[in-house]
Amino acid sequence: MKRLPTYIPGLDSHLGGGPPEGSLIVVVGGPGTGKTLLVLQSLYSAALTGETSIYFTFDETPQNVGWYAESFGWRIGALQKEKKFFIYYLSEQEYERFRPDRLDSLKERLGYVIEATGAQRIAIDSMSMISYFLVRSMSLSTELELKATVQPLVRTLSSLAKKYKLLFYVTVHPDDPARSIYEALSDGVFELRYYKDISGAEQRGIRIPKLRATPHPLGYMGLWIERHGLEVEVI
């Protein structure tokens, strides 16, 4: 089974080299835990090796993403010019075209983008914006209604990951009403949060409660934001 490294220092050694190709990975975390940094770092590092990466964002403009990346010394702008790194900012107007409730057009559009760019890894930051959009636009009022709407969406993303043999990340807020659905249908879950170590000091940490076809530790591992990005504790 081919594995695709995350390129997060320390993490891949816990994952047998990385998640299997075709994996849909849910990255769960609150503000400041490092979930956006994790997916950006993974996409950027992969692009440096020659892979093509696509970052879809609902929250940040390409200018802000570039500024954030530069703070770690990442030259995303150069990779954009080489067509190895693409940033799609889904503004309100663009979001209406994205329409996660129209699965046929969504699948067709994402498939076209993947084929046109030759993308090998993708991130959607964040899926929670899609959850809130669905709840609001479709007036979903029960867990059953939400499940019936979100399940086909997640299966569509998972099928794209497997068809094109991608590493596909989606970020999710811990309070997302559809979080359990994303996690249940994904191939892996990376949970980022603050926790207290044995001395009682608060630390950033990462836990991997799920990663299919991969032996992995279940407890929290230390996660640090260093000068050049994230690093994970090597046990």
- Give pLDDT tens digits for 112-123: 999 999 999 999
With a pLDDT cut of 90, the percent of the chain lying above it is 74
Q: What is the pTM assigned to this prediction?
A: 0.93
Residues ≥6 apart with Cβ < 8 Å to 173:
28, 29, 30, 126, 128, 179
Q: Quick one: which of 193, 186, 201, 181 has its CA closest to 219?
A: 193
Q: In the β-sheet with 202-211, what is the strand arrangement from edge to edge? A: 85-89, 53-57, 121-125, 167-172, 23-29, 188-196, 202-211, 221-226, 229-232
Per-residue pLDDT of 191-201, as tens digits, reads 999 987 778 78
Domains of the chain (ranges; CATH) run 12-232 (3.40.50.300)
